[in-house]
Amino acid sequence: MRPPTITIDGPSGTGKGTLAIRLVRATGWHLLDSGALYRVVAYAAQQQGVSLDSAADLARIATGLALEFQVAEEAVEVWLNGMEISTDIRSETAGSAASQVAAIAAVRDALLARQREFLRAPGLVADGRDMGTVVFPTAELKIFLTASPFIRAERRYKQLKQKGIDVNLARLSEDIAARDRRDEEREVSPLQPASDAIILDTSALDIDAVEESVIALAQERGLR
Ligand code: C5P
């Protein structure tokens, strides 16, 4: 039998990553931070001098990534070829580069099987943009987080500052808006809720309240 899956999709700054880590702690399940895969493809391309619109080269990079993930206290740590690159891939510039490569069908195809390999017993929490629509369409529980643009920019601002990344709030708001627009408007796997997703507006909710609602939903569906 396929292990159970909870998918968490939504635009940036809605709290997906934090929620996913908390659910993993509560359940003991595996975690897929799919955004990190797109961030690493863009990062590796830039390191190798590959243009972010060179589809065939990017797909080759996506297929061959020697990656390792480790769930830390509040974020997923990422190693590429044995080197920790977590901070390098978390800036908004890296997020924007990720969204450029994520719009390329060949890159998404190259990452599909790799993402599905994360589904192992006892279960999976998968965080991204198309987890419930494309990668795990038969997931038992699909959550789609939203929040107002202002709140999302503010959250990302605090998160990046905490990581020691230098940011300007006005610039960050513009960059996030542009990234979300690109994610929503692209032709392949655009950011949108699955028809059977539960949509949670987190604008006025703290992360404890979001976690409680999702755990309650998981229990209702017999997942815990
Ligand atoms: O979630 P995160 O901010 O790390 O994602 C970075 C970018 O990767 C997103 O803006 C999006 O373009 C892309 N992405 C995607 N599909 C996913 C996860 C992330 O297209 N499942």
- Which is higher by pLDDT, 93 or 130? 130
Residue 224 above 80 pLDDT? no
Per-residue pLDDT of 142-185, as tens digits, reads 999 999 999 999 998 998 888 888 889 999 999 999 999 999 99
Phi-psi region of 69 (alpha: psi -120 to 50; beta: other; left: phi over 0): beta
What is the rounded average pLDDT of the residues 137-142? 98
Nearest one of 68, 164, 156 to 118, comparing CA atoms: 68
Distance 222 CA to ligand 1 centre (A): 29
Residue 72's pLDDT is 86
Pocket test for ligand 1, best of 12, 16, 21, 38 (most atoms within 8 A of CB): 38
92 lines ligand 1 (CB under 6 A): no
- Report pTM: 0.95
Phi and psi for 69 in degrees, rounded to 5?
Answer: -120, 145
The amino acid sitting at 143 is: I
Is beta strand 5-9 parallel, antiparallel or unpaired with respect to 124-128?
Answer: parallel
* Structural domains for the chain: 5-217 (3.40.50.300)
Distance 99 CA to ligand 1 centre (A): 6
108 lines ligand 1 (CB under 6 A): no
- DSSP states of 158-183: HHHHHTT----HHHHHHHHHHHHHHH
Identify the burial level of 110 via C-beta atoms within 10 angstroms of its C-beta, where 0-12 means exposed, 13-18 middle and 19 or more buried: buried
Phi-psi region of 145 (alpha: psi -120 to 50; beta: other; left: phi over 0): beta
9 lines ligand 1 (CB under 6 A): no
The answer for residues whose C-beta is within 8 angstroms of residue 207's C-beta and 6 or more apart is 15, 18, 19, 22
Per-residue pLDDT of 38-53, as tens digits, reads 999 999 999 999 999 9
Nearest CA to ligand 1 atom 20: 102
Per-residue pLDDT of 116-133, as tens digits, reads 999 999 999 999 999 999
